[in-house]
Amino acid sequence: MRTFITLLSREIKSFLHSPIAYVVLFFFLIASGFNFYSGLSFLNQSPSEVTVVEAAFNTVLFWFPFVLIFPLITMRTYADEFRMGTIETLATAPVSDWQIVFSKFFGALAFYILLWAPSFLYFIAFKQITGKEAALAAGAYGGSYLLLVLLGAFYVSLGCLASALTNEQINAAIMTFVAIFGFFVTGLLGFILSSPSQAVRDVIAYFSAVEHMADFSRGIIDSRPVIWYLSMTSLVLFINLQVFQYRKWRA
Amino acid sequence: MIEVVNLTKRYPGFTAVRDISFEVAKGEIVGFLGPNGAGKSTTMRILSGYLPPTSGTVRIAGFDVFEQSIQARSHIGYLPENTPMYHDMRVHEYLRYRAALKGVESSQIKERVGDVLEMCDLLEKERAIIGTLSKGQRQRVGLADAMVHDPDLLILDEPTIGLDPNQIRQVRELIKNLANRRTVLVSTHILPEVEIMCSRVIVIHKGRIRASDTADNLLKQHRSAGEVRLELDGQPENAKEILAAIKGVKDVSEKKLDSGALYQLRTDADSEPISAVLQAARDNHWQVQAIERKKPTLEDVFVDLTQGD
């Protein structure tokens, strides 16, 4: 456990040492702030049944920066280690490969959560200023942020896997973007296909991050997406371990 | 400390290491020599637990490096080729991180890091960012990293590369000082280093071990060992026979020169034939132009062992 903590803190520090982290943080704050603002102005235009939380998490402005941040967060995790050769010092220390894979994953996930943390202040500020709750129930906050973490875990694991496949950060970033975009668009097929059969719709429902968020931000915490994201994350991490060992052993 | 049995490493299309076996006992300093591409780094990477062998076994301190990898690795301080390290960290920060990773007790990390910084002459650079260091300084940080958890075994892949002569001497002293307490396997191209530093030499070529012995023995066994060259004025009669009769001389070859003759005597490696040869020259009134005893260098041995197939 101590070894894992050591690895994890090194991962988190390496984010904080890199200038790109602050660039991402800066633009993400602008994007999410603007998104919150536009959600509120949408509510101001006409009577509406949605809450502030729903308005903030279900816009194009929310999803657009959302899918863009993962390549930036995860691209350097493995690619840099392979390119610099530090993977050799890392993997010959008395640490298991699982510990390495988990530390990289949780390190990136921690940074992702750090990106989202300030957004909660918006809702607090909203309540302070207007005296009204931003959501109908506490479950809406919980659901929204739970889904953010679950989705984030899955997308971060995809990014780590892409990074483990290459020596070049830019390749990792492009692969991550394509993979996440692929999953995201698959989830949108329900809106595009004219009349899908029930079976197809059921399958698409699993991929549909947008619909999941629509439910969760209303406080409806469905167990199916939870299990789907957790099991997909585990699967991707398992493949990640295999890829990592394969590349290391082939060196 | 190291037991390697029938180790083979195959890559698609070529075999880097072919069925090698050797042992290194506790306290030995073993030089690992071979031309580029001979399989040195591959072998060291397998020993350090980075690469799995295709077949064969490697035990470090009794632990199989593949089956009991974590235990085996905790006994090893490994300095990879080109000393990769995180360029965004400070020297002391990096060493503390590595110490923690290698299981040094939290309460002792500061002390251990201080010790290795001093040993590797890095106290002035303690707070420097690794990316700003010179190659030699980085090399020393790599050495400090290898030693920070006080391992029983050091595996050093080209530790003196990129160092200036003074620093090479420092590293050599450092490694020699470790001798009593630790086992060291070190690969290098600087052969005089090996002669001074190592108690034994393993020469590897094309994935096979060509020789494994002390440097002294390798030198004695070399074909030019104990060769004496004698150049005489004129071409005295029977010189070849007289020289061949001297004790310890195995055979003599004669070569006529313009103004004299050149004799090459092959002698037993540990005989001292020079004075007997000079005595013969006096007795027979030869005019000696030159006499020279050839001493093979480790370089000769190395070139001999690693040329051709």
In this structure, which amino acid lies at residue B129?
I
B145 in a structural domain: yes
pLDDT(B248) > 80:
no
User: Which residues on A lie below 8 Å from B100 (Cβ)?
Assistant: 2-3, 6
* Domain residue extents for chain A: 2-250
Question: Are residues B47 and B28 both part of a single domain?
Answer: yes
Q: What H or E segment, with its residue span, contains residue B79?
A: strand B76-79
Q: What is the CATH number of the domain that holds B258?
A: 3.30.70.260
**Tens-digit pLDDT profile for residues B13-68:** 888 999 999 999 988 889 998 888 888 889 999 999 899 899 999 999 999 998 89
Which residue range forms the structural domain that includes residue B278?
225-293
Asked if B101 lies within 8 A of A14 by C-beta distance, the reply is: no
Is any Cβ of chain A less than 8 angstroms from the Cβ of B89?
yes
Question: Are residues B105 and B248 both part of a single domain?
Answer: no
pLDDT for the residue B75: 92
pLDDT(B270) > 70:
no
Question: Are residues B164 and B233 both part of a single domain?
Answer: no
Question: Are residues B177 and B276 both part of a single domain?
Answer: no
Residues 136-195 of B with CB under 8 A from A: 145
Q: Indicate the SS3 state at residue A57.
A: helix
Per the structure, the count of domains in chain B is: 2
Per-run averaged pLDDT (10 residues), chain A, 251 residues: 92 88 90 88 82 83 87 92 92 93 96 90 87 80 91 96 94 95 86 78 84 86 92 97 89 63
B6 in a structural domain: yes
pLDDT for the residue A207: 84
**Tens-digit pLDDT profile for residues B71-130:** 999 999 999 988 899 998 999 999 999 999 999 999 999 999 999 999 888 899 999 999
- Of B73, B82, B100, nearest to A92 by CB-CB distance is B73
Question: Are residues B49 and B150 both part of a single domain?
Answer: yes
> Pick from B196, B220, B244: which residue ends a domain?
B220
pLDDT band at B7 (very low <50, low <70, confident <90, very high): very high
Question: Are residues B61 and B165 both part of a single domain?
Answer: yes
Number of Cβ within a 10 Å radius of residue A74: 31
- Of A6, A89, A96, nearest to B80 by CB-CB distance is A89
pLDDT(B162) > 70:
yes
Instruction: List Cβ neighbours of B183 (8 Å cut-off, separation of 6 or more).
Output: B1, B2, B24, B25, B26, B27, B28, B29, B30, B152, B153, B154
B308 in a structural domain: no
Question: Are residues B156 and B247 both part of a single domain?
Answer: no
pLDDT for the residue B197: 82
Mean pLDDT of B187-215: 85
pLDDT for the residue A158: 96
The DSSP code sequence of A76-114 is: TTTHHHHHHSHHHHHHHSS--HHHHHHHHHHHHHHHHHH
Q: What is the CATH number of the domain that holds B31?
A: 3.40.50.300
pLDDT for the residue B242: 82
Identify the weakest region by mean pLDDT among A100-109, B158-167, B294-303: B294-303
Distance in angstroms (rounded) separating the CA atoms of residues B94 and B84: 12
B306 in a structural domain: no
Identify the weakest region by mean pLDDT among A187-191, B136-140, B182-186: A187-191
B7 in a structural domain: yes
- Of B50, B76, B103, nearest to A248 by CB-CB distance is B50
Is any Cβ of chain A less than 8 angstroms from the Cβ of B82?
yes
Shortest Cα–Cα distance, A95 to chain B (Å):
6
